[in-house]
Structure 1
Amino acid sequence: MKGPISQFIEHHYRHFNAAALMDAAKGYETHLNEGGKMLISLAGAMSTAELGISLAEMIRQDKVAIISCTGANLEEDVMNLVAHSHYKRVPNYRDLTPREEWELLENHYNRVTDTCIPEEEAFRRLQKHLHKVWKDAEDKGERYFPHEFLYQVVKSGVLEEHYEIDPKNSWILAAAEKNIPVIVPGWEDSTTGNIFASYCIKGELKASTVKSGIEYMMYLTEWYRANSGGKGVGFFQIGGGIAGDFPICVVPMMYQDLEWHDVPFWSYFCQISDSTTSYGSYSGAVPNEKITWGKLDIDTPKFIVESDATIVAPLIFAWVLGQ
């Protein structure tokens, strides 16, 4: 029996983007019920939007097997975990003058739409612990992926005294507890990546201590080979950008470049995007375009919900969780 949120969606969401949301949610559920696994990709500022409130429960209940996200989403979930009370909401963000934006900068607030991240406060609590795991690995001649270093920090318990939200609402904590893989393409394009680069420039750390994007693709290739049997792996894409573009390419890469002709296509595809169909916009490309790139099959269930992911994703997750 579905819960009240699901009942509300099914009753009211009958047409247009609402119907697309309902169809995508039912398709996700069917995919899992038939033994499939799901990759979720996180672009934009989903962690700052506190998507962890619903995503963490999806991870705990094995509704997602692997995540691909930007470096910003990787770090910002933990920043919200340890510095939530210092975040600042700006409901009138559309009305800010350049001078008011400058004042936010001077007060160490970086604005994402209506939410300002207190980078000074968040990184004061995180940076020293990351530096320690980077340095310890280097001293031992070990190398890890960005998400593995973050897992080491959160699993060690050193941040627990700083928790400012209920830890059940942190998707990184849920992912670390389950030890699910997190693919982080372009990790260098994040505050943590910039900090790591600064240590390398100063000669304090070696760039090779953190594994690279190419190694992430190699790792994803192994994971996909091991997990794409039976019903296969679905692809649930939130937003556009590298978080989605990078992992979806693993299938044509194996088929075309490695010439492994037994590679199954992604077996479900849904994209939530507010980038409407347009000229040359990858994020605005309809799913059928992916057939021509060797990513999706003719009969792969395909859904696109052209709406705000902060509204759509929690509703789809609620349906999948039976809430």
Structure 2
Amino acid sequence: MNAQPITNFIKHHFRHFNAAALVEAAEAYRRHLDSGGKMMVTLAGAMSTAELGLSLAEMIRQDKVHAISCTGANLEEDVFNLVAHDYYERIPHYRDLTPQDEKALLERHLNRVTDTCIPEGEAMRRIESFILEEWMASDARGERLFPHEFFWRILNNPRLQANYQIDPKDSWVLAAKEKRLPMFVPGWEDSTLGNMYAGHCITGDIKHVHTVRTGIEYMIELANWYTETSATASIGFFQIGGGIAGDFPICVVPMLHQDLRRENVPVWGYFCQISDSTTSYGSYSGAVPNEKITWGKLAVETPKFIIESDASIVAPLMFAYILGW
């Protein structure tokens, strides 16, 4: 059996266009780590429901990822899949669904993400019951935690562990918890559990809305992490998709330099984005990397890559290449 079959296949066949960009970006990622650099990965879209944990978890375990910024949806949906995988339904003919078909899924409490339906009762409500206990206990103690810290607590609960329906090694959130990986979840309110938290604040189950720490405090934590880490290592930025998961953390560099007036703040030492967003009409997600030079996020000499393709295809291939699979 050939060693590194995926890597060798990619090297042989991926020679031009976005395929070549994938190889160049993966090799630069490796060089960045080999030279002592660190890497932040940002997750937008529905990467957790796409089960990116199958490869991302191993990247975390092998120290190829050193921090993660993600949407609240990606944080929770990895855990939804962990405890309710057997109840998910795949809809391969989703392009043919009529509005009446969609309503029928709603009536069965199946929330569709492209070709995959997340079961409300087995996934969302099950996790709500566990995390509400932690929210209320912390609220009563006057304790405040970040969203990801509440997830780490429920993942330590043997009652929740008894509900696991996939191999735990395929959960990237579990891998991050075990590594105590620095995590940042901007805009957490825009998630299913964020909505549920707001509801429990409205009903009075939770007395203090700030029991869950959110955005500005995440930025302060990120500023501290970036300052401390960049003092000894160049930090790269690997962006999957666009939106707040990427825009929030990349802004820490100009914030430190321009707003705090700190000298000698290093810019990001590597940049790669996987995106299918069109480069037009002021789109952040579709902006080419060079635009970030004007904002003080990247330097002229920063290795920059953009792979215009489907992240559910590209990211696992890049991770396999970086891992030497």
**TM-score, normalised to structure 1's length?**
0.98
Work out whether residues 239 and 309 of structure 1, in 8 Å CA contact, stay in contact via their aligned partners in 2: yes
Confirm whether residue 29 of structure 1 aligns to residue 30 of structure 2.
Answer: yes
- Which aligned segments of 4 or more residues in structure 1 are displaced greater than 3 angstroms? none
Q: Distance in 2 between matches of 1:64 and 1:229?
A: 18
Work out whether residues 155 and 176 of structure 1, in 8 Å CA contact, stay in contact via their aligned partners in 2: no
Look up the SS of the partner of 1:158 in the other structure. helix
- What is aligned with 2:265? 263
- What is aligned with 1:208? 210
Deviation at 1:160, TM superposition (A): 1.2
Deviation at 1:230, TM superposition (A): 3.9
- What is aligned with 2:140? 139
List runs of 5+ in structure 1 lacking aligned partners. none
Confirm whether residue 320 of structure 1 aligns to residue 308 of structure 2.
Answer: no
Deviation at 1:321, TM superposition (A): 0.6
Task: Give 1:78's aligned amino acid.
Answer: V
Q: Distance in 1 between matches of 2:258 and 2:3?
A: 43
- What is aligned with 2:295? 293
Q: Distance in 2 between matches of 1:158 and 1:35?
A: 40
Q: Distance in 1 between matches of 2:3 and 2:186?
A: 36
Look up the SS of the partner of 1:159 in the other structure. helix
Deviation at 1:129, TM superposition (A): 1.2
Confirm whether residue 110 of structure 1 aligns to residue 111 of structure 2.
Answer: yes
- What is aligned with 2:195? 194
Q: Distance in 2 between matches of 1:231 and 1:130?
A: 36
Q: Distance in 2 between matches of 1:31 and 1:229?
A: 16
Per mean C-alpha deviation after superposition, the further-off stretch among 221-230 and 1-10 is 1-10
Confirm whether residue 306 of structure 1 aligns to residue 308 of structure 2.
Answer: yes
Deviation at 1:136, TM superposition (A): 1.3
Alignment of 1:218-297 (within 5 A): 218-297=220-299
Per mean C-alpha deviation after superposition, the further-off stretch among 135-144 and 38-47 is 135-144
Work out whether residues 89 and 114 of structure 1, in 8 Å CA contact, stay in contact via their aligned partners in 2: yes
**TM-score, normalised to structure 2's length?**
0.98
- What is aligned with 2:96? 95
Look up the SS of the partner of 2:69 in the other structure. strand
Percent of paired sites with the same residue: 65
How many residue pairs end up in the alignment?
323
- What is aligned with 2:157? 156
Work out whether residues 231 and 267 of structure 1, in 8 Å CA contact, stay in contact via their aligned partners in 2: no
Deviation string for 1:198-248 (max 9, x for gaps)?
Answer: 010112212110002000000000000111134411000000110000000
Task: Give 1:289's aligned amino acid.
Answer: E
Deviation string for 1:48-71 (max 9, x for gaps)?
Answer: 000000000000001000000000
